[in-house]
Amino acid sequence: MVDGSQFKTVSSPTFTLNLKHQFEAECLKNEKYYQGIRAAVARVMARGEKVFVLDIGTGTGLLSMMAIAAGADFCYAVEVFKPMAEAAQSIVEKNGFSDKIKIINKHSTDVTVGPDGDMQVKANVLITELFDTELIGEGALPSYEHAHQNLVQDGCEAVPHRATVYAQLVESELLWSWAQLQPVEVEGGRLVPPPAVGRCAGAHAVCDVQLSQVSPSSFTPLSPVCTMFSVDFSKPVSSAFQCHSTQFVAQSDGRAQVVLSWWDLHMDPGGTIVCTMAPSWTYSQPKRAPWRDHWMQSVYFLPTESRVTEGDQLSLTVCHDDYSLWYSLQPNSQQDTQAEAPPSRPCCTCQAHLVWTRSRFGELNDRRRTESYVRALHSVLRDDGVCLAVSDGSLLPVIAHMLGARKVFSLENSRMSKQVVEQILEANAMSRGVELLEVRPEQLTRNDLRGEQISVLMGEPYFSTSLLPWHSLFFWYCRTALSGLLRPDAAVLPGAASLHMLAVEFQDLWRIRAPCGNCEGFDVSPMDEMVQRSLDFRESREAEPHPLWEYPCRALTQSAAVMTFNFTQCVPQQPISSQGSLPFIRTGRCHGVALWMEYHLTDDITVSTGLIGPISEQGDCEWSRHRKQGVYFFRSPWQSPGDGRRQVSYSFTFQPSSGDIKMDFSITA
């Protein structure tokens, strides 16, 4: 049975816990919260009132403990996730606050107030950490709305007091390539995207990235940074649909394509305590920008690309419902019309944005990568060639037809994926050139292929269910299932793949695994113990996927191929093992190992899903933006002397029965 299920990673508690762990690890943010909490408690005490705090989404209970330490009389700490609520209870007890803090394991909208309720009185201080990259995506607005109606007093203090959303309109070929399929040049021919894709407003989900890692040289600002709207959390909040517009004068000529967005939190009414999510390139000293991971920045793609001229009077509009934001651009002259008919929420009508992720769009639009596949296909195609493509939503079968293959078949994993490729074929008058089959590889028969034998089996390979780099070895299993349909001299593209590794020092990503210990004077070690227990899950002792272009790291060893997989042969019955070591050649703290796959299309053409350039003398790495790499974190960092006397020893075992790659690392002298 070839179904790809052996390549799907099972979620473990580690990933959920890491989100909360990241919050505790971001010290500057905690410091700002503590300052805001002290100020809010002091304002209530100055009015001669007792201080009753409601902390929604308490996590570890850190903010509740801050409130009690600041002088609050009592705190109701609400946490819906049971393991986290249990950890919070343990932390509160460990710090001696159990008589002042009540942990309520409920969703805040289920909390009751009264003599027999969860809360005996309504709170006069509201503390929350309900935000995500988009500010409101974790349900902040409905939670605040309910809290003001049911759980807090009129005129309560709130920490944070206010949030402000900012946006900047830009032109960016890089970012736009994540939203729209671009024409593809194939040896004098041109593959054009379907009109429906070009007209489509795209997927509605926010694209959250580390904008600090998007170089300002890769976009052209068309507007200043605009203040879009603010939410005052100390007053009743509405989760109803709203629109906000800001007028500006275009700063330069260009194509309006993308809106970059982030937000600030003002912890106090006067705005003197500010926690900003602004990317580092907005700072006068970018290296002083704090690291964020749970709260990053957002990229929004406009429904349509439009030309703007320097000096144009324009209006940028943001709309939001209870969970999400979307943007649109209008000339100022259209403002009255826009007010009558606010921009509708984007919705994919072409299906491509439902089949392809943003990074997948970028991969399909990568000209250099496409050229590698064109050259490789050209070298193996024959005039009587019959090709079979095995990859999800791939352009390879279309390219093979353009290069002159006599017949091309393609296996598609879903009806929607098939329909997207059909649109591409129709847009390029190739509907009869490629036959799309919704058949599993092991179920494919000679009849499905019209009696043909396959002379070229090809794949990128790409599968939508793949999370870790080696999950695309599913192609090897497909090749094995299809072996009876291949000609004896059939070409397989790629012919092989190799797993690569190098030991790295992360600039910041290590923080998601670092113990919190003592945070702002509070002992949160029970949280560390909880995370450590979660690491005992099998999945947590293995690698996890991360887009390393967003998380800078330094190479402390050379990169090396540690395993090779020969696709010209069937998957073997016995495990494949590999052992070796890599000496440390640079000084630093080794946090773990980065892993990726490289696909050898032919003997001299290779496509990498990891490193895409040479490592600098200092160890700086350039990573592919198209696929996530694997990261294996060491339990504790190791100091690298950089003189070659220490090394990373590795052991890998590929299990054919499951598709798993077992790995183990140690530091040896």
- Quick check: 54 and 288 in contact, CB under 8 A? no
Write down the catalytic residue from 86, 138, 305, 520: 138
- Tell me if residue 129 is catalytic: yes
Q: Catalytic residue, from 24, 26, 79, 129: name it.
A: 129
| Selection from 303, 304, 346 nearest residue 321 by Cα | 346
DSSP secondary structure of 611-639: B-SPPPTT-B--B-SSSPEEEEEEEEEEE
Residue 78 near residue 48, CB atoms below 8 Å: no
Using alpha carbons, list the distances in angstroms from residue 483 to 116, 377, 443, 568.
Answer: 70, 20, 12, 10
Give the tokens for residue 661. 């790659």
Structural element, H or E, at residue 374: helix 367-380
Instruction: Return the H-helix or E-strand segment holding 275.
Output: strand 274-276
Half-sphere exposure of 611 (CA within 13 A, CB side): 23
Helix (H, G, I), strand (E, B) or coil at 13: helix
- Distance CA(71)–CA(309), nearest Å, equals 56
Question: CA 117 → CA 61, 75, 431, 454, distances in Å?
Answer: 21, 14, 66, 70
Q: Which residues contact 371 (CB under 8 A, 6 or more apart)?
A: none
Name which of 487, 499, 477, 490 is nearest 411 in CA terms: 477
Contact 623, 610 (CB under 8 A): yes
Q: Strands across the sheet with 647-654, in order?
A: 576-583, 647-654, 661-668
Q: Please report the DSSP string for 63-105 in residue order.
A: HHHHHHHTT-SEEEEE--SHHHHHHHHHHHHHTT-TTTEEEE-
Distance (Å, whole) CA 598 – CA 619 = 20
Cα 159 to its chain centre, rounded Å, is 28
- 237's tokens: 């909040």
Residue 100 exposed, middle or buried by CB count within 10 Å (0-12, 13-18, 19+): middle
Q: Copy the structure tokens of residue 320.
A: 């939001």
Task: Determine phi and psi for 462, rounding to 5 degrees.
Answer: -140, 130
Q: Under 8 Å CB-to-CB from 127, ≥6 apart: which residues?
A: 33, 37, 40, 53, 54, 55, 56, 63, 64, 67, 158, 159
Cβ neighbors of 206 (< 8 A, separation 6 or more) are: 133, 134, 137, 298, 299, 300, 324, 325
Say how far apart CA 482 and CA 477 lie, in whole Å.
Answer: 9
Half-sphere exposure of 390 (CA within 13 A, CB side): 26
**Is the Cβ–Cβ distance between 25 and 512 less than 8 Å?**
yes
Catalytic residue ranges = 129, 138
